[in-house]
Amino acid sequence: MKFIDEAKIYVKAGDGGRGCVSFRREKFVPRGGPDGGDGGHGGDVVIRASLSRRTLLDFKFRQHHLAKHGSHGEGSKRTGKDSDNVEIVVPVGTVIRDAETGELLADLTADGAVFVVAKGGMGGRGNARFATATRQVPRFAQPGIPGEERWITLELKLLADVGIIGLPNVGKSTFISRVSAARPKIADYPFTTLVPHLGVVQYGDNESFVIADIPGLIEGAHEGLGMGMQFLRHVERTSVLLHIIDVSDEASQGAWHDFEMINRELELFSPAMLKKRQVVAIGKLDLTTTRERVKKEIDTFARKGIKIFAFSAATGEGVPEVLRELITLIPPHLTPAADGSGVSPEEFPS
């Protein structure tokens, strides 16, 4: 399934039905008087968040969403039928904005959250409504009120407790595949992860947290280089960041250089990013070059007051320690995994 996290769509609510101009005509009832009914209410366009959706792909193929108009009023004071609402289902975590002004309309962060993005028009009143003692034969009725219409943008921001960040090819996908049931593409070249992946990590007595594998960032990401801002937005909702660093490459400029560069990109994208709690870890501990350098890197971070972990997602070494640190930092709003998927930290070798 292709991952789409942005879409622009047009929504148009239904117009209200016209009121009716009618007069009672019955045998033996002269001057029956006005009896035109009201028009029906136009349908609303409603957006509902659901866990059953994962991307905004559907909206790339269907951009226009129109509700039906209310029925017109009829004689004998019969009111026109109200039109049904049109419901648009989006993934949980979708942000709705006005396409022209950029105004934030709604942020649907809960399953079942609903927002009326375009209200249907009210039906016009029939001529029976306008009869008075001094105006007994009104020959007019109200037209229906037009329904609202607008272009809106849908922007999906993944909801995860932990977001994995780092340069391309540092082992983020290998880590999430080790600790959860997620199976992203893994290869020995940069940018193998082209879309975010979510996984559920279980621990303790049926408790869990959601972890997101974010495509690798490079210098200039805040300006759109590499994966750029396309995926930085998905880090905004996470409570904790797991910053994975790779020092196995001979050309590596050191863990501290990579750490500062990634955090600089986060700050340039949004200063609030640096307020998020981070767990810093050096991966690929199973490689000889990493094991030779890790002690020096740990000392470098220690002198700057930062605790750093080392692990190997391939063998499981050090992974339980990283998970335990993440668990202590995640706010207590966790929910059990719906399908029981995930891997407990106790299953890893120490």
Amino acid identity, position 213: D
Phi-psi group of 53: left, alpha or beta (phi > 0 → left; psi -120 to 50 → alpha; rest → beta): beta
Q: Is the pTM of this model over 0.75?
A: no
Task: Please provide the DSSP assignment of 288-318 as one string.
Answer: HHHHHHHHHHHHHHHHTT--EEE--TTT-TT
In whole angstroms, give the CA distance from residue 279 to residue 253: 20
**Which residues are CB-contacts of 225 (< 8 A; sequence separation ≥ 6)?**
218, 219
At 305-344, the pLDDT tens digits run 999 999 998 899 999 999 999 999 987 654 433 333 334 3
- Which segments of the chain have a pLDDT < 70? 1-4, 181-196, 205-206, 216, 218-231, 332-350
Structural class in CATH, domain 6-156: mainly beta
CATH 3.40.50.300 in the chain: give the residue spans: 162-347
- 165-196 tens-digit pLDDT: 888 888 888 888 888 865 544 444 344 444 66
DSSP designation for 341: -
β-strand 240-245 against 162-165: which pairing, if any? parallel
What size, in residues, is the chain? 350
Return the CATH fold of 162-347. Rossmann fold (3.40.50)
Q: Answer yes or no: are the C-beta atoms of 93 and 109 closer than 8 Å.
A: yes
CATH 2.70.210.12 domain residues, the chain? 6-156
d(C-alpha 201, C-alpha 92), whole Å: 19
Query: Phi/psi class of residue 23: alpha, beta or left (left: φ > 0; alpha: ψ in -120 to 50)?
Result: beta
Q: How far apart are CA 242 and CA 266, in angstroms?
A: 13
Q: What is the DSSP string of 32-97?
A: --B-PPPPPPPPPEEEEEETT---STHHHH--EEEPPPPPPPBTTTBPPPPPPPEEEEEETTEEEE
Per the structure block, which two tokens stand in for 156?
């999906």
Residues 6+ apart with CB under 8 A from 15: 42, 69, 70, 120, 121, 144, 145, 146, 147
φ, ψ of residue 299 to 5 degrees: the values are -65, -40
